Amino acid sequence: MEELIEKLKLQIIEQLNLEDVEPDEIDPEEPLFGDGLGLDSIDALELIVLLEKEYGIKIENPKDGQKIFFSVKSLAEYILAHQK
């Protein structure tokens, strides 16, 4: 789990071009959207692509996105539970 969280931090920084953000600055339980990293709707779409491209996971129900992408930790938990 810890290893996946660290990998996800790096992938999020690279995929979303978070130029001035270091992995250590991302609290795994901090919200990704709103107050936390301040990501926007395009970033949300990029995360959906990342999930599919890197982990082969498709989100079937868009309503689940809010829960899955709440934080790096929730994203890691979802990947571990759904990766084939």
Partner 1 sequence: MTTKRTHITIRNNKIFKNGVLFFEAAPYLTLKDFLKAAWKNLKVKYPKFYKMDEVSKLGVLAAEILLIDEPHKAFNEEEVGVILSNAHSTLVTDTEHWNSVKDDSNFFPSPAVFVYTLPNIMVGEICIKHKFKGENAFFITEQYDAEMIFQHFNLLKTQNKIKAAIGGWVDQSQDDYLVEMFWAE
Footprint of partner 1 (CB under 8 A): 16-20, 42-43, 45-46, 49, 52-53
Tokens standing for residue 31: 């919200």
State which residue, 49 or 80, has the beta carbon closest to partner 1: 49
State in angstroms the smallest separation of the CB of 53 from partner 1. 5
State in angstroms the smallest separation of the CB of 51 from partner 1. 11
State which residue, 36 or 77, has the beta carbon closest to partner 1: 36
Q: What is the 3-state secondary structure (H, E, C) of 6-54?
A: HHHHHHHHHHCCCCCCCHHHCCCCCCCECCCCCECHHHHHHHHHHHHHH
